[in-house]
Amino acid sequence: MSKKQRVLTGITTTGTPHLGNYVGAIKPAIAASRADDIDSFYFLADYHALVKCEDPERVQRSTLEIAATWLALGLDTSRSVFYRQSDVPEIPELTWLLTCVTAKGLMNRAHAYKASVDANLKAEEDPDFGVTMGLYSYPVLMAADILMFNAKRVPVGKDQVQHLEMARDIAQRFNHRYGELFELPEAEVDEHVATLPGTDGRKMSKSYDNTIPLWLPEKKLRKAIMKIKTNSQEPGEPKDPDSAAVFSVYAAFASPEQRAAMRQAFADGIAWGEVKQQLFELINAELTVPRERYEALISDPAKVEKELTVGAERARELSRPFIAELREAVGIRRLG
């Protein structure tokens, strides 16, 4: 086995990729996968999607879109293991092994579950109204994703840090009971990675309905950018870049020189329309070539499927022998 650091992250397949996903997660992950000292594992968390989404069409479509997005943006699948969670049956199996060492009390503390309970209490409903076992034990599935490959570093958003703490806790309990089988993973929350504001100035997020989809055709992309909220300052008036959503988005795509020049333009009173035009040109230049690759992949799902199948096979080369070891550790099988 190589001594490289293992980096792993999952993307839930419920939505359409937007600029915020690109800047905040996909772009840094693809860049990281090119580093020589890491082994990267990126996967489509389609079992996780079932917790939030009851629409089969949507899960299916999102899986294709997200896979095509990563490939179109240049993920090198010869360096990085890129797979679909449901193609690795050892993951749900491990989920059960972990479920049996996970304290119910630990799951009671999970934010997502607690938020549902609080909402129910507020609405004077039964506290468990609408709460499935999927939602409740979601953190165990996530722990299995990570522990299956003994990943050390897990890049995630702040909202996932608690899940990583739970994964560590679960791994420790398992190790305590059955021997040192799991590495303890760590969340990696990159403070330098930009959180992109959406069209209304709040964080770009599906739940605020303020996203700009990554693969809009050129004209629609321009239109969406023109809709980003600004204030009513006139052309010629000096403007404050640090309170303008358009500037934050610009900064996330620009080189340091371009950023400095735009700051100066703000001080000189550039018109909002002009900022947006420049922003459109900047983003469009970066996305034009990948967009063509994306369109080609989306219209050839078999090609995407092939990549995922290869990825799953590589993942299973690791998960198969490891699950055998784990089965033996808990006493349900003896190794040959």
**Footprint of ligand TRP on this chain (CB under 6 A)?**
8-10, 12, 45, 48, 142, 145-146, 154, 156, 160
CB of 207 or CB of 299, closer to ligand TRP: 207
Give the nearest distance from C-beta 10 to ligand TRP in angstroms. 3
When CB distances to ligand TRP are compared, the closest residue is 10
Please tell me the distance from the alpha carbon of residue 73 to that of residue 53, in angstroms, as a whole number: 26
Q: What are phi and psi of 268, to 5 degrees?
A: -85, 0
Please tell me the distance from the alpha carbon of residue 8 to that of residue 152, in angstroms, as a whole number: 8
The secondary structure element, H or E, covering residue 11 is strand 5-12
Give the number of other Cβ atoms within 10 Å of residue 54's Cβ: 8
Closest by Cα among 148, 132, 57 to 96: 148
Cα–Cα separations (whole angstroms), residue 26 to 11, 45, 141, 225, 279: 9, 14, 22, 20, 20
CB of 185 or CB of 197, closer to ligand TRP: 185
CB of 107 or CB of 254, closer to ligand TRP: 107
CB of 156 or CB of 194, closer to ligand TRP: 156
Give the nearest distance from C-beta 203 to ligand TRP in angstroms. 14
Give the nearest distance from C-beta 75 to ligand TRP in angstroms. 16
Give the nearest distance from C-beta 282 to ligand TRP in angstroms. 27
Give the nearest distance from C-beta 39 to ligand TRP in angstroms. 15
Report residue 232 as tokens: 């009513």
- What's the sign of the alpha-carbon dihedral 16, 81, 148, 333? positive
Report residue 124 as tokens: 């004077």
Amino acid identity at 224: A
Give the nearest distance from C-beta 47 to ligand TRP in angstroms. 8
CB of 25 or CB of 71, closer to ligand TRP: 25
Please tell me the distance from the alpha carbon of residue 234 to that of residue 29, in angstroms, as a whole number: 39
Give the nearest distance from C-beta 4 to ligand TRP in angstroms. 18
Report residue 236 as tokens: 């010629």
CB of 160 or CB of 199, closer to ligand TRP: 160
- What's the sign of the alpha-carbon dihedral 47, 53, 55, 60? negative
CB of 80 or CB of 160, closer to ligand TRP: 160
